[in-house]
Structure 1
Amino acid sequence: MNTQEVANKLVEYCRNNQEDKAYQELYSPEITSIEMSEPMKEVHGMDGIQKKGQWWEENFEVHGNKYSDPMVADNHFVVNIWMDTTHKPSGQRSQMNELAVYQVKDGKIWKEQFFYDTGE
């Protein structure tokens, strides 16, 4: 798949709550995922992605989300993600916008990085 096809497929899976399918089909085993803050600032490989997902589920309840269409440039694409979540430990509900930037290599996502307001 080329970058546009990977981007379109990822957004389709996310919009249909099929993130697991996206990880299996679209992600490289050598994936690097970078957040702006701890505790999961940078993880590597599918084990890292799995641990990050587990941490997310333990700490956040998602009430809704929206994904923009992807914008592609060469082997990169960006998706604007809007989320409505509750932080389970504090009970604080909030909405956020983030930019997710992906890099594709050999038809697979091998790097993802997320940009959002950390409140700092």
Structure 2
Amino acid sequence: MTTREVANQLVAYCRNNEEHKAYEELYSPEITSVEMSEPMKEVKGFDGLQKKGQWWKENFEVHGNKVSDPVVADGHFAVTFWMDTTHKPSGHRSQMNEIGVYQVKNGKIWREQFFYDTEE
């Protein structure tokens, strides 16, 4: 797949709450995922993604989300995500924007990094 095809498919899966299909079809087994802060600052491989996803489900309830169209440049693309969530342990509800930047090699996402404000 081309970078544009990977980007468009990822956006489609995210818009339909089918991220599991993206992990199965679009991600490289050597994936590195980078966040702005702990506890999941950097994870590697499918095991790391699974642990990160489990942590997210345990800690956040998602009330709504929006996903932008991708911006593609050579082997990279970026997507803006908007989320309305409640932090389960504290009960604090908030909205946030983040930018996901993805790098594609050999038709698979092998690096993703997310940028967002870490302070309120």
**Matching residue of 2:104:** 104
CA displacement 1:47-105 (0-9 Å, x = unmatched): 00000000000000000000000000000000000000000000000000000000000
Q: Distance in 2 between matches of 1:3 and 1:66?
A: 21
SS at match of 2:40: coil
Q: TM-score scaled by structure 2? A: 0.99
**Matching residue of 2:69:** 69
**Matching residue of 2:22:** 22
What code does the residue aligned with 1:15 have?
A: R
Which ranges of structure 1 fall in alignment gaps of 5 or more residues? none
**Matching residue of 2:2:** 2
4+ residue runs of structure 1 moved beyond 6 angstroms? Answer: none
Aligned length: 120
Q: Quick one: percent identity of the two aligned structures?
A: 80
What code does the residue aligned with 2:13 have?
A: Y
